A and B are shown apart, each in its own frame.
Chain A
Amino acid sequence: MKRVAIIGVGHSKFGDRSDVNLSELTFEAVKPALESSELTAKDIPYMALGSMGVWSEEPLPAVVIAEYCGFTGAGLVRCESACASGSAATYNAYSVIKSGQMDLALVVGAEKMKQISTPIIMEMIGRAGYYMWEFENFGMTFPAYYAMHAVKHMENFATTEEDLAKVAVKNHKYGAINPLAHLQHEITVDDVLDSFMIAWPLKLYDCCPITDGSAAVVLASEEKVKELKIEDPVWIEAVGVASDTANLSKREKYVGLDASVKAAKMAYDLAGITPKMLDVATVHDCFTIAEIMAYEDLDFCKKGEGAQMVREGETEVGGRIPTNLDGGLKAKGHPIGTTGVSMLAELTKQLLEEVKPNKRQAPMKNYIALAHNTGGTGHYGYVTILRR
């Protein structure tokens, strides 16, 4: 099997991007991705898009984006794995190259969520789980699903609402210095605790914002890397994939996500590494409790010790595994299908030690990074390991 490298990345400004349409927003990421890989759209025979796309008007966003960005004629697919659609698209393009069918591929994540109202977005995301059994009569929302996990985690491990707040404070601290982040302001624990209730016990600042944004990465085979004379690329070492039940009622426990545990184990095994070797990570902090559970599910610490990692600053710059130094979903924003690709763009910059400002650059020792991207409430699990 061939090795697959990331040879170019691009990332739009995240936020309320009502100033551009979906194609224009995506162009903002595709253009720098192509330029940084010194390629043109005509050079790339395959494009995979990660997008859920129900919030904007185009039912076939991949073809619209491909036409706008000059990719018409390329092999084309749009991948859906809810909030992990970007990782699913990456896995698709990665597999195409790894299996030797193509030498180059573009992965794009694109989402325009701000085109419809918040109650309709709550409706569309709430339905994403099991419409028939958990939404039709019970109106579950995405925050409500994670709130159920927060209740159980707090009960079992003495995790507190202050601990949850500290995750938001950390991620806002880094979001504030990431020029591409949606929310560029610092917050305090009290800001979180005093914010209005969304789904008890989760409050506004425990939740990621609704965001527009795009990201793109160019993938290349090892042969292509040599041909293009790229000396020091970032490699996708491994991808772990897993899933869990549609019905939340069928899960065993509510203190973690099994899909994350399984995907992480698969990725660590394939890459031949342990979590101790990670220099930096991005984890799927759609809610503050999700980041704490992710530390545990990814084996950064034992189950129940996630809050301790936040309390002790172990996931900040200078800590054991600096995590979400781009602000995470919490402050950078979470344009659903874009997030997985955005994580890879960020980690590529981290591994190349090109993050600006330097205050949010993780120190590199082993040059290994991990991206954890879940779809739905742990319905889909993707863990991608990068190495330079």
Chain B
Amino acid sequence: MAKPLSMKSARTLCITYNIPINRTLKFWTGLEKGKVYATKCTKCGKLHFPPAADCGDCNSSKIDWVELDGEGEIVTFTQVFVKPASFSEKPDYIVAIARLKEGVKALAWLKGIKREDVKTGMKVRLVAKVFPDKRVAYEFIPS
């Protein structure tokens, strides 16, 4: 059967979002300095990671910044083979969720290890990452 006819839309879009980070700025500047911060609600004591400037648990906006030790243990993981368009040039990356010493969990790439060697329960470290273009992120490495 012949492929049904369609036309290409003449109008195209390329969208880049400007994402506000003003209220969590310490987190982003912390990554530049090699530190990973969480926020802690001064009213109810809840630790938030990813960091949150407001505490939805008790409706307070008074928070402290707490540097995470980074030590953690893998809860679950996967390796992405079929990738989103904006990650198409990346090698097949491993993504893990690990529970950190402080009790919160984080999701990030796990680098420096082959997937065949990854096990749940494995000890990892969450570390800050600065890319050559100055973009910042964080990742897990085996500890």
Contact = CB atoms under 8 A, between A and B. Distances in A.
Contact of A134 (B49, B104, B107): B107
Given A18-B6, A247-B50, A248-B107, A148 B85 contact: no
B136 to A, nearest CB: 9
Contacts of A74: none
Q: Say whether chain B's binding surface is mostly helix, strand, loop, or mixed.
A: mixed
B76 to A, nearest CB: 4
B82 A143 contact: yes
A289 to B, nearest CB: 11
Given A134-B107, A138-B107, A249-B106, A152 B75 contact: yes
Nearest to B19: A132
A151 B76 CA distance: 7
Contacts of B75: 152, 254
B107 A120 contact: no
Contacts of B9: 57
Interface string B17-50: 0010000000000000000000000000000011
B84 A152 contact: no
A118 B109 CA distance: 23
B105 A196 contact: no
Interface string A40-81: 000000000000000001000000000000000000000000
A13 to B, nearest CB: 13
B90 A139 contact: yes
Interface residues of B, number: 35
B12 to A, nearest CB: 11
Interface in B1-22: 3-4, 6, 9, 19
A250 interface: yes
A200 B107 contact: no
B66 interface: no
A120 B109 contact: no
Nearest to A147: B78
A119 B50 contact: no
A122 to B, nearest CB: 5
A126 interface: yes
B88 interface: yes
Contact of A119 (B83, B95, B109): B83
A249 B80 contact: no
Contacts of A127: 84
A117 B85 CA distance: 9
Given A148-B97, A152-B75, A247-B50, A196 B81 contact: yes
A151 B50 contact: no
A189 interface: no
B53 interface: no
A118 B83 CA distance: 9
Nearest to A203: B81
Among A127, A144, A149, A152, the most chain B Cβ lie within 10 Å of the Cβ of: A144
Contacts of A196: 81
Interface of B: 3-4, 6, 9, 19, 49-50, 75-88, 90, 93, 95, 97, 104-109, 115, 120, 137-138
14 contacts: A119-B84, A122-B83, A123-B85, A133-B50, A138-B107, A141-B83, A148-B77, A148-B95, A199-B79, A202-B78, A247-B107, A250-B105, A254-B75, A254-B76
Given A127-B84, A138-B109, A139-B80, 5 more contacts: A120-B85, A122-B82, A137-B137, A198-B82, A248-B97
